[in-house]
Amino acid sequence: MEDFSSLMGGFAVAISGYNILLMVVGILLGVIIGVLPGLGGANGVAILLPLTFGMDPTSAIIMLTSIYWGALFGGAITSILFNIPGEPWSVATTFDGHPMAQKGKADEALVGAFTSSFVGAIFAVVLITFLAPVIAKFALRFGPAEFFAVQFLTFASFLGMGRGSAMKTLASMCLGFALASVGLDGVTGTLRLTFGYDELLNGFKFLVAVIGLFGIGEILSSMEEGLAFRGAAAKLKMDAVIRTWRQLPRMAVTFLRSCIVGSWMGITPGGATPASFMGYGLAKRFSRNGRNFGKGELEGVVAPETAAHAAGTAAMLPMLTLGIPGSPTAAVLLGGLLIWGLQPGPLLFVEQKEFVWGLIASMYMGNVVGLVIVLTCVPLFAAILRVPFSIIAPAIVVVCAIGAYTVNNSMFDVWMMLVFGVMGYLFTKLGYPLPPLVLALVLGDQAESSFRQAMLTSQGDVTVFWHNWLSGGIMTLGVILALWPLVSMLLGKKEGDDKVTTTA
């Protein structure tokens, strides 16, 4: 009952005229970011984060999360109309969305995508509403050992659950740790890795790094690819909306399955992209129309969009309750909270109740507003792709440079943004994942602090991380996930040897 009262208080904060205006502006910007290939939720939030420095933290987070909701919605537009995934998690939507558009059913595909995205997001927000206070109260029992165990599990999850090379993921993460260690040691006051630059005494500015890695890096990659936009036009009429909505109740099982898969992948650091593919794969496996997937099946649009939105929204749960981001965008939002002087974690629900419940209430409202906007403004957003990329790219670079400069009003940060931009481009070209680097850059200081505090209290005894069932269980799971790629490689090698022996 207390949580319900807090949620109602959160709605009172979120429905103020100023916050609703920021919500609408944020969603419009987010949809544009989602429509433009080469950008994305994390990129857009990182680029526009400096705009919120002068705002109240509650209003700022409402605008930034609205950008994220808009980007989640916007990715489906280009996937369906142009066969160009505006977001990585929209790749699976192209499999059936674009064939539907080619058959003249673009309106049905878009309505199905937007509605399923809304359902997935609302499911995850309800989950956050009920689970966040419980997890936060439980996490109040955490000490340094427990916090490091959770942080270690987060890093290990990227190794154990990653889709790419485990060695590349590990290398990316180690570079993030190295960057996070630059500056003054918080315990001894020793300078680390500054190389004589006074500007690095306080370490790399998280915002500058993220703008470079995501914003400039993606623009460089997109410029190399020579984007050309060609696709179908679409206009949503009310009869198409009603006709599509009548079909959706028959897909209730697909909705529920994708919601569960997406929420799980969001809470664990799996992310929206693998969630969308998993949702699509399961739907294809269990659907009565599975054989038609890839030929223009509405259920093939519903499944990945529901899972992606559920994952993208559920990633906020560990970020708010434990200070552990479940996605790259959540990591950027975590950096924003730290910049505003807010420490995500269990105490946030005690010390900043108005902020937390205002944010949760805005998640409900933001997705409702987002659904209305995308259903009514699809032709306008699709027209953005008629603007030559040669005009869009320089404009984005200028916005990135302004955002980096405003962090400290320093040109040094602009140059560092460009360095990180080249690094992001090279990472993309060489197949190294950026999310592990960003996660290590954000959580590196906190993980180091928790580890050193735990070791000091135990006088150097590493078994402190197994001194109770809670930290011991989390650490054991983390060790299993960290070693899982090695175990998989050994098992695969053994199977290969057995086949060779059998053949011989």
Predicted confidence pLDDT, tens digits, the chain (504 residues)? 566 677 787 788 778 888 889 888 888 888 877 776 556 666 777 777 777 777 888 888 888 888 888 877 777 777 777 666 656 667 678 788 878 887 877 778 888 888 888 899 899 988 888 888 877 777 667 778 887 887 787 778 777 766 667 888 888 888 988 888 888 776 677 788 777 777 777 777 766 787 787 677 777 876 776 654 444 445 556 666 777 788 888 888 989 989 998 888 777 655 676 778 778 878 887 878 777 787 788 888 888 889 888 888 888 888 888 777 767 777 777 777 777 777 777 777 777 788 888 888 888 888 888 888 887 776 665 555 566 767 767 877 877 787 677 667 788 888 888 898 899 889 888 888 877 887 788 778 778 888 888 888 888 888 888 888 878 888 888 888 888 878 777 776 655 555 555 555
Residue ranges per structural domain of the chain:
1-489
- Kindly state the helix (H) or strand (E) to which residue 133 belongs, with its residue range: helix 106-139
* Paired strand residues for 37: 39
Q: Do the bridges between strand 191-192 and strand 183-184 make them parallel or antiparallel, or are there none, so unpaired?
A: antiparallel
For 451-462, give the DSSP string. HHHHHHHTTT-G
Angle at 65 between CA 64 and CA 67, to 5 degrees: 65
Residue 203 Rama label (left phi>0; alpha psi -120 to 50; beta)? left
Q: Read off the DSSP letter of residue 39.
A: B
